[in-house]
Structures are given as C-alpha cells and as structure tokens.
Amino acid sequence: MSSRASVAELGEFGLIARLAETLASPASPGLRPGLKIGIGDDAAVWAPTPATWSVITTDALIENVHFRLHTTSWYDLGWKSLAVNLSDVAAMGARPRYAVVCLGVPGEVAVTAIEEFGRGLADVGGRYGTALVGGDTVAAPCATISVTVVGETLPAAPGAPPPLLQRRAGRVGDLVAVTGTLGASAGGLRLLEGATPADADPAAAEALRAAHLRPTPRVNAAALLVAQGVRCAMDLSDGLLGDAQRVAEASDVGVVLEAARVPVAPALARLFPADALALALGGGEDYELLCAGPADVLAAAAAALAARGEPPLTIVGRLVASPAAGPRVQVVDAHGAPLAVQGGYVHFRS
Amino acid sequence: MSSRASVAELGEFGLIARLAETLASPASPGLRPGLKIGIGDDAAVWAPTPATWSVITTDALIENVHFRLHTTSWYDLGWKSLAVNLSDVAAMGARPRYAVVCLGVPGEVAVTAIEEFGRGLADVGGRYGTALVGGDTVAAPCATISVTVVGETLPAAPGAPPPLLQRRAGRVGDLVAVTGTLGASAGGLRLLEGATPADADPAAAEALRAAHLRPTPRVNAAALLVAQGVRCAMDLSDGLLGDAQRVAEASDVGVVLEAARVPVAPALARLFPADALALALGGGEDYELLCAGPADVLAAAAAALAARGEPPLTIVGRLVASPAAGPRVQVVDAHGAPLAVQGGYVHFRS
C-alpha cells in the first residue's frame, strides 16, 4: 500500500506494522541489550539491570489542548511526546530505557504523518537510549497521544538503596539551582500563536520555537547530578514558580528565589524583553531541571556539567524554613527585598 | 470542594489528588512490597523482584470508538480499561504489578464520575495485586483513556530464563485450548446496542452485559498455565479466529479448530442461538486465554485450573504444518470436514 494512504485505509494492524518498521530504522536505538521481546506479542519483555530500581511515568498530549496540528509537525509531535516523559524519568535520577505509546488519530490522517511521528519518537529515543517496545493505535476524533516510559536507576551500592532525585529531599539551607535557561518554550508558544516579537531576529525566533516544539530532555545532566550527590530535583514542566512550590511542599520548606539570578533565555530577552523575566519564572514546558542541595554538592555538579558540555547549572535561590504564614515561594531582588509576583509576573514595587 | 463539582472546577492538580485519594482507599491494593515511591513525584519507583523479567503493555479506549457513556458506567470503564491490560500481562505468563493511567475528559464531567472511574480501576487492580502508581489527567474533547501495566514473570530457575507464554512458541502437534467460554462479550455488546434477544432471560442478559463491561482477566489461570509448563498463549481480544491466526503466523504453523468443541457461552446460546457459534468464533473482547501445548501438558494445566476453581480449559483444535496455500486457520466439523468461515460466521456446507 502506498504511503499516501490514510490511516483508515491501512487499518489498525497495518498501522502498527508500519510504525514498528519506522521504529526499527537505523535512527532508532534497536534492541536494547536487556530487551527480550519487543513489539509483536501481548506485551514486551526485558530483564531489569541487576541492583537497579525501576521508574515509570506517563504523559498525555491532546490536539487543541496541548498542541495544534497547524503549528507543529508530526515529527516534532513524536519527539515532544516522548521527550517530556524522558524528562520525568531523568528527574528521578534514572536512565530511560523502554517506552510504549498509545496513538489515537482520525481515520483521514495520512500514513506518512504516522511515519513522521514515529521518526520523531525514534530519534529522541535513540539519542537517549530508549527503545519503543509497544503501543496501541486507535481511531479517535482528534489526535491523542499518551506515552509511558520505564527507566532504571543507577545500581545500588551494597547495603544502600539506589540513589534517586526526589522532590521531598530538599533541606533548609540547600541552594536551589536550574539547568540551562528558562522561558524559551513559553516564548516559542507565543510566536506559534501569532505574537509579534519586539525584534525581527529569525535565528532567535527559531530558537524559541524549537524549544517549544522539540524540547531537550536533560537525561545526561540528571545522570551527572545524581552521580555528584544531588538528591533533590524535579523537571520544570509548569514553570519555575509553580514547580518550586511543589518542591517546597514535598520537602516542607520555603523557597527564596532571586529574580536577578534567573537565567532568562537570551533569545527570549531579545524578542520579548518586557515579559522575559515573567515568562522565565512562570512560563512552562522548559524541561530543564530544578534541583536543591548543599553548596559544595551543587558546585561539584556544576563543574561536572561544564566538563561534559552540558548546559550550565545556575544558582537561583535557597531553601528556607517553612513559613508560618504566606506563600512558600518568595521572589526577592538582589538586596533580598520581596517582589510581588502574580501569575508569573513580577511586579517591581521598589 | 463538593463532589458535585465538575472536572473543570477542580482543575488538573485537584483531579490528580482526588484520584490518588480514591486509589488509596481500602479496596485498593495499597503499596506493593516492592513499591518505593508512588503517586506524587516525577515518576513512581519500585524494586524489581530478583530473577524476574519485566513485561509492559498498553491499551487505549476512546469514547464512541471503544465505548459509549450511555451504555457503560464510569466504574465499569475504570474496571475494563485496567482489566484488558492485566489480561495482556497475564497472557505473557506474568503477574501484573504496577499500572499508570492517562485520563482525558471534557471539563464538564463530574468529579464523582472520575471517582467512580478510580474505584473501578482500584477494585480490579486490588483483586489482581496491581497498584496504580501514577498517571496524567488532561482536558480532552471526549473521554480518552490509556492504561499501561508492568508485570513480572516467575523467577528464573538457575541457568534458565524465566518461563513465558509466547505466541511464537506453538509447535506442530500441539493441541489448542481456550479457558472459559466464548462469545459472551460480543453478545453483551449486541444487547447494549439494542438488539432484541431470542429469549427474555434477565439473568442471561446481565451475564452477557457484564462479560462485555467488566471482563475478568485470566491472571490466575495464566499463572497456573505457565507453572504447568504451557509456553504458547495469547489473550482473546479480537476473537478466536483472528487471534488463532496470529498464533499461527507467529509460530509458523496452521491451526485446525473443531467447531463443535468451541465452548459457546451458555447465556449467549440461550439469547442468540442462531449466531452463538459465529460470535464465539469471531466476536472479540472475551479476554479468555488461547493456548497451545502437548496433550499431557494441557491435561495437567486443565487439572490445575479445576483444582483452583478457575474456569475450565477446553481443547478446541490442534496445530498442524503451515499450509502451502490457503488460510492458516481452518474450522472443521466433528468429522474433520472443512467448514466455510466468513467474518466469523461459519457456513455449514454439509
């Protein structure tokens, strides 16, 4: 059957076979050493790596809720739907290993679109050592995607549990840091939705759109953090302020963030200077890592990231005692004076 | 917030919290011994049971494609969406352990509906030792559900891989058997879609509807099969004829099924006598097990099922050499004469 066929013509089993072919392409990771049975039986089977723990996460993307087909390609959609799950696995301090995907599409979608989707999945999976081992393709009134990824921690040392990155592992006195720069994804979404930037800079615009459409999961950075002794982290999917709130709640602490230290994405500062800090604080889908730890641990982690060519680790604040009243997360200026924050927007009162 | 609130009023995080509460209810399995981190961090974490292999499967259900909200309750929907995945894990010879769910619903759905959905999930999960450890709740134009389940095989004996049930493990000369009875789910679907049965028997009608809405995954039966040495099986989700075709292809054999041996569900024979055999052969969603093995192995397995109060194992045919031409699956009468089969319907030519 020609690639110009629609999904309805190919049928469910044809679609699964086509996707499996795409995923077995050279760009895909192929069979992982531990994989015993891949696509084609009732379930996939693997041998867990001895002394590791397993982690699992799942995320759904719905057309016109999480993405629009006129602003994303099917390739990017495949990439992003897997990348956001790789990010969650990394944020536990684990390596992603195996993925399954449920894809619902209207019958009139072209088979080539599904192949592009599969290539996006396979490319980001291959880059981070993750094999697609199963899935389900169904008819649906709009495009619906859910991906589940299983990962493995580092092996445990004798007599100790394997190391993890947990939201609840923050301690009063820890410094708070983020990888990379923030706000680019939110700026990219603005551009995709038709906003006019302050500056016509095609390269900066493309950087923002790419950050939104093809986020880079910090799989390698997370592995370095956990190896350097960091134990508290999460990935930034809902914005620094909202996610800092979750670390604060899980660790029962307060968080003080210094606005001037937040690493605003340069392309964002260029194209949307008036809102850049607000988007860096409150915009979502950066998929950078937010972590907390003692100053010496974070310094060693920052050096390890730099040595491996990973994005920089920037100190943005510190964990403090849980406040008796008021918000757990405070944003302050360089002098420690509180700034009012509303919906991610910082109102400079001084 | 009151339980009469809509999902839109509660919001995504409120919904996750509500679902987590439902799932922590006494009916749920609670924390499995190996579970280290459940709902609430970036991913759930467990310690794999030593010497086992892990299996993973995923299935999606879409409103008005796989179910209609006017013919199913949210409780049944929760039950079924997990049960079909438990069935796939069982069909590999593994025990289901951990599940994650992605649930997309329109904002106007009542929170009580989500709680009912969660109770259905928790009840079937609890019955078969499976903990719900994570998920994602999103807005969607129609109800969309995808569930992923991870299971574990029996531990390997020293020097051998763990035992599995595989589609490709059938051998020429094996007998073919099914657990339980067939066709009830297809009959139930007919009733739900408004068909008038041949006989007004409320108990039989309820049995058919229940088979469709709340299928029983053969988790315990599968464990007995694999323990007795059965190595070839799959679950019956697309009908005996279609699924036998898959075993035939995976094992590169032919299958001969004797029509008179097929265990037609009694309630189906009563309510739809004219079509009962056709529905037992071609109707889907029975979630019984189809298996193949040497006669003595299947006899031992049948005895083990009977001893544990599991549904009977019925020999329905045998595996033969892969045919040089023609269909891999043949249906024959009691004298071995081929019957013509079309779309699940057997045309008695003699």
Contact: B139, A62; criterion CB under 8 Å:
yes
Mean pLDDT, residues A209-233: 98
Residue of A32, A41, A61, A165 to mutate, interface with B, max B Cβ within 10 Å: A41
Query: Where in chain B is CATH 3.90.650.10?
Result: 167-347
Quote the Cα angle for B317-B334-B316, to 5°: 20
Three-class SS of residue A42? coil
> pLDDT, tens digit, for every residue of B61-113?
999 999 999 999 999 999 999 999 999 999 999 999 999 999 999 989 998 99
Measure A336 CA to nearest chain B CA, in Å. Answer: 30
B88 contact residues in A (CB cutoff 8 A):
42-43
The predicted model gives A300-319 an average pLDDT of 98
Reference A291, options A319, A269, A327, A266; nearest CA is A319
In this predicted structure, the answer to whether residue A127 has a pLDDT above a threshold of 70 is yes
Which of B63, B64, B66, B148 best probes binding to A when mutated, by most A CB atoms within 10 angstroms?
B148
Q: Quick check: pTM over 0.90? A: yes
Measure in Å the smallest separation between the Cα of A348 and chain B Cα atoms. 29
Distance separating alpha carbons of residues B218 and B222, to the nearest angstrom: 6
Confidence at residue B341, expressed as pLDDT on a 0 to 100 scale: 76
Q: How far is A12 from chain B (nearest CA, A)?
A: 12
Domain A167-347: give its CATH architecture. Alpha-Beta Complex (3.90)
Name which of B43, B94, B140 is nearest A57 (Cβ-Cβ): B43
Residues of A in contact with B40 (CB under 8 A): 167, 250
Distance in angstroms (rounded) separating the CA atoms of residues B196 and B194: 6
Q: Judge: A57–B100 Cβ closer than 8 Å, yes or no.
A: yes
| CA-based nearest distance A153→chain B, Å | 9
Sheet with B95-105, strands from edge to edge, namely A35-37, A44-46, B54-62, B144-152, B95-105, B131-139
Percent of chain A with pLDDT over 70: 90
* pLDDT of B347 higher than 90: no
A47, A66, A141: residue with CB nearest B141: A141
Nearest to B92 among A45, A135, A167 (CB): A45
What is the rounded (10 degree) CA torsion for A82, A88, A92, A96? 0
Q: Please judge whether B43 and A153 are an interchain contact, meaning their C-beta atoms are less than 8 angstroms apart.
A: no
pLDDT over 50 (residue A257): yes
Please indicate whether, in this complex, the C-beta atoms of A46 and B54 are within 8 angstroms of each other: yes
Residue among B106, B70, B101, B115 nearest B213 (CA): B70
In this model, does residue A242 exceed pLDDT 50? Answer: yes
Q: How close is the nearest chain B Cα to the Cα of A5, in Å?
A: 21
The reply to whether residue A144 touches residue B100, judged by beta carbons under 8 angstroms, is no
Taking only Cα atoms into account, the Rg of chain A, rounded to an integer number of angstroms, comes to 21
| Mean pLDDT (whole number) for B111-127 | 92
Count of Cβ atoms closer than 10 Å to residue A302 Cβ: 20
Kindly tell me the burial class for residue B227, based on how many C-beta atoms sit within 10 Å of its own C-beta (0-12, 13-18, 19 or more).
Answer: middle
Angle at A80 (CA atoms; ends A76, A81), nearest 5 degrees? 115
Residue A61 is predicted with a pLDDT of 96
Q: Would you place residue B152 in the very low, low, confident or very high pLDDT band (cuts 50, 70, 90)?
A: very high
Checking if the pLDDT of A46 tops 80, the result is yes
> Residue B284's pLDDT band (boundaries 50, 70, 90)?
very high
For residue A28, is pLDDT > 60?
no
Cβ–Cβ pairs < 8 A, chains A and B: 198
User: What class has domain A7-152?
Assistant: alpha beta
For A53, which of B45, B53, B167 is closest by C-beta distance?
B45
Contacts of A43 (CB under 8 A, 6+ apart): A37, A134, B55, B56, B57, B88, B89, B91, B92, B94, B151
Model confidence at A39, in pLDDT bands (50, 70, 90)?
Answer: confident
- Using an 8 Å CB-CB cutoff, list chain B residues near A138: 60-62, 65-66
Return the residue of B nearest to A62 by Cα: B140
Q: How far apart are the first and last CA of chain B?
A: 67
pLDDT score of A40: 86
Interface test with B, best of A36, A42, A219, A243 (most B CBs within 10 A): A42
Chain B residue numbers with beta carbons less than 8 Å from the beta carbon of A92 are: 37, 41-43, 45
Percent of chain B with pLDDT strictly greater than 90? 82
Residues of chain B with CATH 3.30.1330.10: 7-152
Which of B37, B42, B54, B138 to probe the A interface (max A CBs under 10 A)?
A: B42
B39: closest chain A residue by CA: A57
Which pLDDT score, from 0 to 100, does residue B345 have? 58
The mean pLDDT value for B28-40 works out to 75
The DSSP bridge pattern shows strands A338-342 and A345-347 to be antiparallel
Q: How many CB atoms lie within 10 A of CB A145?
A: 28
Mean pLDDT rounded to a whole number for chain A: 91
- Mean pLDDT of chain B, nearest integer: 91
Picking from B59, B92, B102, the nearest residue to A58 by CB comes out as: B102
> Nearest C-alpha of chain A: how many angstroms from B270?
32
Is the pLDDT confidence value at A3 over 80?
Answer: no
Q: Distance (Å, rounded) from C-alpha A321 to C-alpha A335?
A: 19
Per CB-CB distance under 8 Å, the chain A contacts of B225 are none
Nearest to B138 among A55, A60, A165 (CB): A60
B46 closest CA partner among B99, B105, B84, B83: B99
Q: How many CA atoms lie within 13 A of B91 on its CB side?
A: 34
Q: CA-to-CA distance for A256 and A258, rounded, in angstroms?
A: 7
- pLDDT surpassing 80 at residue B3: no
User: Mind listing the pLDDT tens digit for each residue in A79-107?
Assistant: 999 999 999 999 999 999 999 999 999 98
Using CB atoms within 10 A of its CB, is residue B180 exposed (0-12), middle (13-18) or buried (19+)? buried
Pairing of strands A175-179, A313-321: antiparallel
State whether A102 and B146 contact (CB < 8 Å): yes
Q: Is the pLDDT of residue A31 over 60?
A: no
Name the residue among A239, A281, A262, A59 with its Cα closest to residue A176. Answer: A262
The SS3 call for residue A331 is: strand
Q: What is the mean pLDDT of residues A263-276?
A: 97
**Which residue among B40, B102, B164 places its CB closest to the CB of A146?**
B102
Q: Which residues contact B30 (CB under 8 A, 6 or more apart)?
A: B24, B131
Q: Is B88–A42 a contact, with Cβ atoms under 8 angstroms apart?
A: yes
CA distance B146 to chain A (A): 7
Asked whether the predicted pLDDT for residue A350 surpasses 90, the reply is no
pLDDT digit string, tens, across residues B204-254: 999 999 999 999 999 999 999 999 999 999 999 999 999 999 999 999 999
